[in-house]
Chain A
Amino acid sequence: MCCGVSKDTAKLRPGKGRPNKIMNAQTAIEKRLIHRFGETLIGPADDSFKGFHVRLDLPKERIPELAQLLHEAGCFLEYVTAVDRNDHLELVYVFGTYGDPARIRAGVRVPKGETAPSISRVFPGADWHEREVFDFFGQVFSGHPDLKRILLPETADYHPLLKDFRAPARLNGMQGPERP
């Protein structure tokens, strides 16, 4: 198959006619997702409005397992990012397919200061995405081949997208705006 997308994944998208829940799934990949991750599914996902077709809420240990399953099913990694929820970080993994749209969003709650497993062995492209999350949020990924800053200078000692970050008057030797 030219694009490496299995037929199963192509059917993953819930049709417009039927209720937008993966629980009504019939295809093999959907059955596998339910079989292995059924209890973590949260739905219904509203793809026309919020852009995700499937939503999962996972414990962090199961992320490599999900990545492996989706890699075998022909998905690609769109991005990894994080949201600072004040008491914890929510890591967001978004997978897509080159076939019919099936965007899978996996959310992972990680208490600040704890590590999360890297999926860069499954999806090599996750390497840079995880470095970016480390750069902006300070999240450490265990098993990452070379976890270091990617966009900010290596000398930086801050993680700017954390909600308690306040830009200092001088940053990397440059004068910033005056702050009260």
Chain B
Amino acid sequence: MMTAEPITLRKTLTDDTFFLNMGPQHPSTHGVLRLLLKLDGEYVRACEPVLGYSHRGHEHMAQNRTYLQFMPNPSRMDYLSGLLYNDAYCRAVEKACAIRVPERAEYIRAICCELNRISSHLLWFGSYVMDLGGITPFLYAFDDREDVLGILNEVSGSRLTYSYCCFGGVSRDLNDPFLQKLKAFIPKMRGRLKDYDTLVSKNIIFIKRTRDVGVIHADLARDYGLTGSTLRASGVSYDIRKKEPYGLYPEFDFEVPTRPEGDCLARYQVRLAEIEQSLRIVEQALARMPQGPICAENVPQYVTPEPGDYHFSYESARGQVGIYIVSDGSRIPYRMKWRTPSFCNLSILPVLLPGTLVADTIAILGSLDVVIPEIDR
């Protein structure tokens, strides 16, 4: 990026401090995040994240095309939980247009979305432990994630950027290979969670790298608008699936894992506990799923919400996605704003890093579970 003006942080350098550019190609910044660090020896004195390297103008694209034409875009914002974003967008439009989704489609969405949440957490788990120097769990996690991607591929035809949901339901019904693979996957994943527990959670090196590192207190989290598992590791039980439930979530029996510590280890423990909760939701949905239509009938090709503004909140793998749609009654959105959880979760980094070691920068940044294309949009 060309800079017309000197970065503010550079102006504050003194004789004792020097400047380090971490990223945008640093492997532990998971995408294209650039961190400007002011260092005093091994200690971070100040940090300034530079965003926008993968800005694609999704909000501008939204106001240049119809609601249906925008369908492929949301899953490309957060490509690790693409189906959740796809579902969020469909639900936002369905709510604004009062489209009812058939019950079977709701169950299918719940199953597929929770699977996608598991795959997103698995990727985070593998890459986070690798950031801290453990290569082996990465291979196991990607093996499990490959299973999930294979399952979702059976029904949606894609592995990463899904457009499986459609306004009023889902585009294809579940098939036998999907159900067979899924039934084999659930017990295998439970066994793997035990392996992860012995391999990583009780590993003394891992615990020493993460305990009491990057502590976020609940009040600080609120000042920066944190949501998702990053917030729940600070002791706040805030999950949209419980607070403002959508779909069938009020009917499922699941817990919202929280930890009071607020450090990197707590964020790790919350996410691993969430995998188990997602498995529970999948099991319950599989057991109760009725037969019936998978998509509402008579959904118009051009959905047109009444003039006005609409908000919809959704719990993605990283926190609260807020979709704000302003309609002028035409086929094309007048304005569409995406409040992405990583944007807010990362904004806390400049107050979290000062005083920590450079090595802990990796541990803290990784524990926030940010996806940069979701921030840059």
Contacts and interface: CB of A to CB of B under 8 A. Distances in A.
A154 B312 contact: no
Counting chain A CB atoms within 10 Å of each CB, the highest count among B222, B226, B235, B320 belongs to B222
B308 A50 contact: yes
B295 to A, nearest CB: 22
Given A78-B225, A92-B324, A151 B51 contact: yes
Interface in A86-123: 92, 94, 96, 98, 100-101, 103, 105, 123
26 contacts: A2-B235, A2-B260, A3-B237, A50-B308, A51-B310, A78-B225, A79-B339, A81-B337, A83-B334, A92-B324, A94-B322, A94-B324, A94-B339, A96-B313, A98-B231, A98-B236, A101-B244, A105-B311, A123-B225, A125-B223, A125-B224, A127-B347, A128-B343, A128-B344, A151-B55, A161-B335
B3 interface: yes
A77 interface: yes
Interface of A: 2-4, 49-52, 74, 76-79, 81, 83-84, 92, 94, 96, 98, 100-101, 103, 105, 123-125, 127-128, 136, 146, 148-155, 160-161
B236 A3 contact: yes
A79 B313 CA distance: 12
A144 to B, nearest CB: 12
Given A100-B243, A124-B223, A152-B52, 12 more contacts: A3-B236, A76-B223, A78-B225, A79-B225, A83-B334, A94-B322, A94-B324, A103-B313, A105-B311, A125-B348, A148-B5, A154-B4
Q: Which 4 A-B pairs have the closest CB atoms?
A: A51-B311, A125-B224, A151-B52, A79-B339
A155 B351 CA distance: 27
A154 B1 contact: yes
A4 B218 contact: yes
Contacts of B225: 76-79, 123, 125
B376 interface: yes
A164 B72 CA distance: 26
Max chain B Cβ within 10 angstroms of own Cβ: one of A50, A51, A96: A51
Contacts of A96: 313, 320
B67 interface: no
A74 B1 contact: no
B133 interface: no
B4 A4 contact: no
Most B-side CB within 10 Å, residue of A76, A83, A154, A155: A76
Contacts of A78: 225, 320, 322, 339
A4 B234 CA distance: 11
Contacts of A146: 8
Interface string B319-346: 0101010100000001101010001100
Contacts of A153: 1-2, 52
A150 B51 contact: yes
B309 interface: yes
B85 interface: no
A94 B60 contact: no
A177 to B, nearest CB: 11
- Identify the interface centre among A123, A125, A148, A149: most chain B CB within 10 Å of its CB: A125
Nearest to B222: A76
A51 B313 contact: yes
Nearest to B48: A146
B222 A2 contact: no
A161 B2 contact: no
Contacts of A94: 311, 322, 324, 339
A60 to B, nearest CB: 19
Nearest to B223: A124
Contacts of A98: 222, 231, 236, 238
Contacts of B3: 154-155
Contact of B59 (A50, A123, A136, A148): A136
B300 interface: no
Contacts of A105: 311
Nearest to A55: B309
A123 B4 contact: no
Interface in B227-243: 231, 235-238, 243
A43 to B, nearest CB: 14
B334 to A, nearest CB: 7
Contacts of B226: 76
